[in-house]
Amino acid sequence: MNSRPLLPMTEDPNDLAALTPAHFLIGSSLQALPGPDLHNVPPTRLEHYQQLQQHVQRFWVHWRKDYLQELQQDTRGWKRNDEIIPGRMAILVDEMQPTLRWPLARIESVIPGKDQLARVVLLRTARGTITRPIAKICLLPNTVVTTNCENPSASTSNEQQPA
């Protein structure tokens, strides 16, 4: 279970909360402190629990390098430049912090470069307003899931309805 942000909780531009896998299991986000860095310790020097922790740390290294890099490539391409708009939620990449501590922010405004492509964004975080280059942010998917709770039979189904 983790606190990796999946989607913004609401479309409210003042809300910096994001839906995480932990919300599905315990109803809220996890706020765990990271343990000691065991990534480069030889496995023969670790106890069983520490070996498990080492696997978890390696997972997060791969997650940061693969998944987040994929999100960043989406924002770097000129085709995706139109998706960097005010109101979008993003993760702020901070390689000096564990990924669990990377803050969330909302884009306040886009600052174009000389070529009129988005190069820098003004972001609102829980601690204030900052500017970051787009290479140091990862946009969260901008997907809104809707359900029809009042009329469950209106949901998509392969069953034939009686005439």
CA distance 131 to 107: 9
The answer to whether residue 153 is domain-embedded is no
pLDDT digits (tens, 9 = 90+) for 29-50: 666 555 677 767 777 776 777 7
The answer to whether residue 84 is domain-embedded is yes
Question: Structural domain of residue 62, as residue ranges?
Answer: 7-144
**Among the listed residues 62, 33, 63, 35, the one whose alpha carbon sits nearest the alpha carbon of residue 51:** 35
The answer to whether residue 138 is domain-embedded is yes
Task: Tell me how many domains the chain contains.
Answer: 1
Of 1-5, 20-24, 133-137, the range with the highest mean pLDDT is 133-137
- Does the pLDDT of residue 159 top 50, yes or no? no
pLDDT score of 22:
72
pLDDT digits (tens, 9 = 90+) for 114-145: 888 888 999 999 899 999 998 888 888 775 54
pLDDT score of 109:
94
The answer to whether residue 79 is domain-embedded is yes
The answer to whether residue 14 is domain-embedded is yes
119 φ, ψ (degrees, to nearest 5): -120, -35
pLDDT digits (tens, 9 = 90+) for 59-118: 877 877 777 667 666 544 444 566 788 988 888 988 888 777 888 899 999 998 888 888
pLDDT score of 128:
93
Residue 77 belongs to what H/E stretch?
none
The answer to whether residue 51 is domain-embedded is yes
The answer to whether residue 162 is domain-embedded is no
The answer to whether residue 156 is domain-embedded is no
**Among the listed residues 62, 61, 72, the one whose alpha carbon sits nearest the alpha carbon of residue 136:** 72
Residue 22 belongs to what H/E stretch?
helix 21-26
**Among the listed residues 94, 111, 105, the one whose alpha carbon sits nearest the alpha carbon of residue 140:** 105
